[in-house]
Every structure is written in structure tokens, then in C-alpha cells.
């Protein structure tokens, strides 16, 4: 039996050799393959020992149990690999269905073989020679499954698929609707590769075991055939690794969320409130002299100086901040005022000549749900002058205006070897926070699923307060350098912009530990601005200012890296500029199963009929660096 110490030396040697030839540490399935070949070589050293084989043929308990232990160690090597399932949508690929059928047969037979050995270990009773030969002959007959899987991986099953590998076929299928997936495209390809490698390793183990048993029981010389199996495994692995790497180079590592079927505030989205809100004010109250000598367009930045003769100004809450961008629409109107304490000031505004602001609200706002007030402009005949009611924007920090974003960093518990596995926005006490999901790191990029938790946000008064001048958010893709993983995230102010940064930490991949994270972790971001002389950050203009939950149809990603957008008011016609848009998508962005992350980003998704959402995205750790085929011999 191979000792754990011997295997530890083997794995250490693999890591050292990987560094020596300047390749990344091998993936879990690559290590399993190397370990399996090592164990089969150890098995054949025993089989080549005449004394050992004689003792087994004589059914000596000690020698036979030594053989069983050697075979069982091969079985255990397979159980150490946890390969995630591949998404259901690939079942539409006929070739994948055929591979799965062959794989099912291999797994079933492997379990039969493992049970056969396990029972002898548990009972310490040796099976008969005939039983050993029966199982060996059965195992040897199943080698065609591995060959069929290899052929299906590399060549099309029919003419319709053309000359593509299974990975290229899956790449086309998976990228057609990325946001519906539970895994990024790259991660899905790796999981396919790992799963098929595991199946072929099981087939290889059964073939090697069969040859060893037939050799022991003098049914021929099978040692050469066993060597050919190893050479064939090596060759096939190299071909399959090359195929999956070609596809992985084209594959996205991005994970983001689709729109939910139904929008629900506090569950699928949050919003800023009363940042810039439609507001009606008479020009007489927007200048300290209380005259009406100008026009609405003259009032670009002003404030409310009083309430002339207790007119409409006395019937609505005053804008206690700045009044901005006024315009004249019509003189006389009916205003459907929202109830006191609501975020909206008005449900809709209906002008005398049938101009309507808030068209999306009037159809489902009975007069009983608002206070209807008639508002008329008037003449000052002794001057004379027309005192017009203007439609403006109110920038008013108040208890009804949620306009704050936390600038506190959110960092995983790196001292206890935890990393970020997911992100979401949360709103707490009127402040928007970035919240992280963290989990414990395991060898070869695995995450302990039982350790996952959403870490409580770091509440503080370090906040970004939005206003007319400060309402820009940068949209970036931030990716960790090679060999680093995502361990922290935060917002910062760059000029007047809200800008995201990520913290990255170096990783010792095969051990599953962070390398001196308190010393070697650091923050990265994109501090480019729209005022840069070279390659300035570009502004994304919303295609629509309609309120997202009032529109139909899906939102689609429409932003690019190194861009920004301004939070603003909703459409004047459809919503009377009562809502701050776009909204924030607060759906958790995680992968299933959880995995290492190699970056994060912010993006916008919208449409021609919706102002859309600002949303988070994550990038899985680049696993392609660890798919090494057979560079290590």
C-alpha cells in the first residue's frame, strides 16, 4: 500500500516541477491523473514481483489484502475529486447526451468494482480466483466507453455540428444567454473537461486493474498492454486539454444576473430617492425681489425665497434645497399631489391644454389616492407682468432623499483564509452598501460550501453624498493579476465620481491558502476620468428615462469598460420626473457551486423603453492557467 507520506512527496515534487518548467500549478483533475499513473506504476511493481504474485495465487491473506489495498488506493483517488455538475442546457447538445450515456456506464461499473474490493476489506475474506477473473474480464470489456468518449469530445457526432469539438459546441450554446447561467462560460468548460477526465480515469483504473489481475492469475502477459493504456491516456489527455484550452481562451469569465420575472423593491432592486425631482414653483418665489420680469428658463440655479400670497406654494412641501433647470410648459394645470411622507411629490400633472406629465401614473392613480389641486398662473396688472408656474428640478437633501453610498471597504476574513465568493448591493438606514459573500478556501481553488456567509456590512459615516454636481458612477471591469484572487471591494471618490476598487491577494493554488494576505494584498482600480487628455472616460447616455418597473421587456447590457453614467430624474412626460433612475439591481451575484473569483465590475443594463439598472458582475478565477495536460510527466 502507498503511504500518505509517499503521496505527499509526490505532490510536492509536482509543484516544484511545475515551477521549474514555468507552468502553473496543475488543476485538481490533472493532479488526480498524475497521482493515478503513479499508483498504477506502484501496482505493477508489485505485480512484477514473482514472490508477491505467487502468494496472491495461493490466496495468502496478507498478500491479497496488500493487492486489494493497492487497488483500493486507486479507487480512493477518484473519490477525492469533486467535479461540479454541468448546466442542464447542455443536454440539448446530442453529442453531450451520448457522452453522458457512456459516462454513466463507466461510473456504474466502477462502483461495482469498488464495492467488490471494499467487501473483502471489511470482512477480511478473500474472494475466489474465479470471482477475481470474472471481475477482471468484465472490466477489460468496458474499455470501449473511454474510446467512444474521446472520439465524441474531439469530433462532431453528425454533419450538422461540422468539425467542432464538444467544447466548441458547448461554447456556442452557453454564450447565447450568459446571464441565465449558474456558472461562467469558462468555468462550465472546465467542469465539462474535469468530469470527462474523471470518467476516463475511472476507465483507465479499471483497465489497469484488469490487466494486473489477469497477469497475476497467469492468463497472459498484460504488462505491455497496460503500458499502452498509459501512453494512450497521456496522448488523449493532451489532445483534450488542448481542445478545452482553445475554447477557454474564447470563453467569458463573467457572471451576471438576468432581470427577474417580477421587479420588487427591496428584493430585486433598490433606488435612490428625491435626488433630482420634478417640482412646480412660481417664478415670483424664485427670486429675492419677488418680481415676475423674467421667464422660467432664466432660473437655472436658484432656491425658494418665500411664498407669495399663500398661493400653491402653501399647499405643497417647499423645496428646501436648490431649484434647477426650470422650464415653462403651460400656465394652468391640475396637480395630483402625493400623500405627505411619500417619496413622490406628484402622481401626475394635467395641464389645461391637455399636456400631461405622468402618463404612466394617471391610469392607475384614482383621485382618491392623491390630493387634486387646481393651479393657475396670474397677471400683475399694475406692473404689468405674468407670474408663471415653472416646472423645475429640486435638489433637496432631506429625510425622504436617499442619496448616500458607503465608502467603507468590505474585506473577507483573509487571516482565516477566506475569500469573496459573491457580491450584492444592500440598503441599510438609507445608505447603499456593497456586501460580500465569503467562504473558506480549499486546495485547487475549491470553496468549502458549508462556510459560506454574507458578511455584515461595515457601517460607518464615511459616505458619498450625491447631488446635482456629484452623481456620476464609473462602470469598470476590474480583474486581479495572475495568481491573485478577490478578497475585498470598496467605493471611493475620484473627483466627483463614485469609483469602485477591488482588493486582491496572492494565492498558493495547490495548497488552497492565501500567501501572507495581510502583507501582500493590495487595492486596484481604474482612476481614469472624463477630463483626461488621453483616452478620457466616456459617458453612457441613457436610451430611456422611463422607470424600470413600469416598462416591459428585458434590459440588456449596454455599457463598456471605462465609462460612466449620471444618476438623474425619470422621464418628465411619463413620470413627471419624480423618480431617480437608473435603479440598482440587488440580486446576489454568485456562482453555483461557489468558486474563487478573479475580479468584479459595475455595468449598466437598459433598453429603449427603460432606464434600467446599475448592477454588479463578477469574474471567476482564471482556471485555464492550471489546465496543463501532460507537460508534467
Measured CA distances, 182 to 248, 553, 606 (Å): 17, 22, 22
Out of 65-74, 278-287, 349-358, the most confident range is 278-287
C-beta separation of 96 from 188 below 8 A = no
Model pLDDT, residue 363: 67
Neighbours of 468 (CB within 10 A): 16
Dump pLDDT digits (tens) for 485-542.
999 999 999 999 999 999 999 999 999 999 999 999 999 999 999 999 999 999 999 9
Model pLDDT, residue 461: 86
Closest of 332, 346, 315, 309 to residue 569, by C-alpha:
346
pTM above 0.85, yes or no: yes
- Cα–Cα dist 567/278, whole Å: 14
Closest of 202, 95, 203 to residue 158, by C-alpha:
95
- Cα–Cα dist 197/505, whole Å: 30
Sign, Cα dihedral of 342, 345, 346, 347: negative
- Cα–Cα dist 148/125, whole Å: 37
Q: Which residues pair with 436 in a beta bridge?
A: 423
Q: In the block, which residue shows the cell 510536492?
A: 12
Average pLDDT over every residue of 116-131: 82
**Which range (300-304, 305-309, 517-521, 578-582) has the least confidence?**
305-309
Q: Which residue has the higher pLDDT, 587 or 5?
A: 587
Dump pLDDT digits (tens) for 375-427.
999 987 666 788 999 999 999 999 999 999 999 999 999 999 999 999 999 99
Ordered DSSP codes for 99-144: HHHHHHHHHHHHHHHHHHHHHHHHHT-PPPHHHHHHHHHHHHHTHH
Q: Where are the domains of the chain?
A: 25-252, 277-395, 403-623
Average pLDDT of the chain, as a whole number = 88
263 pLDDT band (50/70/90 cuts)? very high
157 pLDDT band (50/70/90 cuts)? low
Q: Which residues pair with 602 in a beta bridge?
A: 616
Torsion angle defined by CA atoms of residues 201, 204, 210 and 212, in that order, rounded to the nearest 10 degrees = -100
Amino acid at each position: 500500500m502507498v503511504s500518505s507520506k509517499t503521496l505527499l512527496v509526490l505532490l510536492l515534487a509536482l509543484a516544484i516541477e511545475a515551477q521549474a518548467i514555468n507552468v502553473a500549478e496543475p488543476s485538481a483533475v490533472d493532479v488526480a491523473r498524475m497521482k493515478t499513473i503513479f499508483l498504477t506504476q506502484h501496482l505493477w511493481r508489485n505485480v512484477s514481483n514473482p514472490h508477491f504474485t505467487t502468494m496472491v495465487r495461493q490466496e495468502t491473506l496478507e498478500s491479497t489484502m496488500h493487492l486489494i489495498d493497492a487497488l483500493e488506493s486507486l479507487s480512493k483517488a477518484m473519490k477525492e475529486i469533486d467535479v461540479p455538475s454541468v448546466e442542464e442546457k447542455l443536454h440539448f447538445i446530442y453529442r453531450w447526451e451520448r457522452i453522458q450515456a457512456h459516462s454513466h456506464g463507466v461510473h456504474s461499473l466502477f462502483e461495482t468494482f469498488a464495492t467488490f474490493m471494499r467487501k473483502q476489506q471489511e470482512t477480511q475474506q478473500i474472494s475466489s480466483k474465479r470471482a477475481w477473473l470474472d471481475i477482471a474480464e468484465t472490466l477489460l470489456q468496458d474499455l470501449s466507453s473511454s474510446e467512444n468518449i474521446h472520439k465524441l469530445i474531439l469530433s462532431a457526432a453528425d454533419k450538422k455540428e461540422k468539425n467542432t469539438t464538444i467544447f466548441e459546441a458547448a461554447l456556442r450554446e452557453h454564450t447565447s444567454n450568459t446571464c441565465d447561467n449558474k456558472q461562467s462560460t469558462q468555468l462550465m468548460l472546465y467542469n465539462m473537461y474535469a468530469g470527462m477526465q474523471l470518467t476516463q480515469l475511472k476507465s483507465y483504473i479499471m483497465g489497469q486493474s484488469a490487466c494486473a489481475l489477469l497477469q497475476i492469475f497467469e492468463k497472459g502477459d498484460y504488462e505491455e498492454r497496460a503500458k499502452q493504456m498509459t501512453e494512450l491516456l497521456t496522448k488523449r489527455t493532451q489532445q483534450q486539454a488542448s481542445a478545452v484550452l482553445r475554447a477557454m481562451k474564447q470563453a467569458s469569465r463573467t457572471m451576471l444576473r438576468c432581470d427577474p420575472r417580477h421587479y420588487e423593491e427591496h428584493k430585486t432592486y433598490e433606488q435612490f430617492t428625491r435626488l433630482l425631482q420634478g417640482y412646480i414653483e412660481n417664478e415670483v418665489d424664485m427670486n429675492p425681489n419677488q418680481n415676475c420680469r423674467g421667464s422660467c428658463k432664466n432660473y437655472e440655479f436658484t432656491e425658494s425665497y418665500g411664498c407669495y400670497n399663500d398661493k400653491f406654494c402653501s399647499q405643497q412641501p417647499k423645496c428646501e434645497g436648490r431649484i434647477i433647470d426650470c422650464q415653462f410648459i403651460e400656465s394652468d394645470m391640475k396637480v395630483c399631489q402625493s400623500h405627505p411622507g411619500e417619496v413622490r411629490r406628484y402622481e401626475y400633472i394635467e395641464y389645461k391644454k391637455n399636456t400631461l406629465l405622468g402618463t404612466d401614473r394617471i391610469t392607475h392613480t384614482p383621485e382618491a389616492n392623491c390630493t387634486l389641486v387646481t393651479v393657475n398662473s396670474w397677471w400683475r396688472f399694475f406692473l404689468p407682468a405674468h407670474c408663471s408656474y415653472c416646472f423645475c428640478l429640486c435638489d433637496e437633501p432631506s429625510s425622504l432623499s436617499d442619496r448616500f453610498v458607503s465608502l467603507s471597504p468590505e474585506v473577507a476574513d483573509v487571516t482565516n483564509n477566506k475569500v469573496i465568493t459573491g457580491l450584492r448591493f444592500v440598503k441599510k438606514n438609507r445608505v447603499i452598501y456593497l456586501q460580500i459573500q465569503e467562504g473558506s478556501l480549499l486546495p485547487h481553488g475549491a470553496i468549502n460550501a458549508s462556510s459560506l456567509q454574507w458578511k455584515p456590512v461595515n457601517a460607518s459615516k464615511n459616505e458619498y453624498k450625491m447631488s446635482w454636481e456629484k452623481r456620476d458612477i464609473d462602470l469598470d471591469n476590474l480583474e486581479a493579476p495572475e495568481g491573485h484572487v478577490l478578497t475585498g471591494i470598496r467605493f471611493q471618490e475620484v473627483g466627483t465620481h463614485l469609483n469602485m476598487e477591488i482588493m486582491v491577494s496572492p494565492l498558493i493554488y495547490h495548497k488552497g491558502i492565501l500567501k501572507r494576505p495581510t502583507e501582500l494584498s493590495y487595492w486596484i482600480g481604474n482612476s481614469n476620468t472624463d477630463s483626461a487628455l488621453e483616452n478620457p472616460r466616456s459617458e453612457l447616455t441613457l436610451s430611456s428615462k422611463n422607470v424600470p418597473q413600469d416598462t416591459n421587456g428585458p434590459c440588456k447590457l449596454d455599457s463598456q469598460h471605462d465609462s460612466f453614467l449620471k444618476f438623474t430624474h425619470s422621464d418628465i412626460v411619463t413620470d413627471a420626473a419624480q423618480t431617480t433612475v437608473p435603479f440598482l439591481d440587488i440580486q446576489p451575484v454568485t456562482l453555483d457551486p461557489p468558486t474563487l473569483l478573479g475580479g468584479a465590475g459595475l455595468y449598466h443594463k437598459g433598453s429603449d423603453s427603460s432606464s434600467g439598472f446599475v448592477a454588479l458582475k463578477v469574474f471567476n478565477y482564471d482556471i485555464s492557467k492550471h489546465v496543463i495536460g501532460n507537460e508534467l510527466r
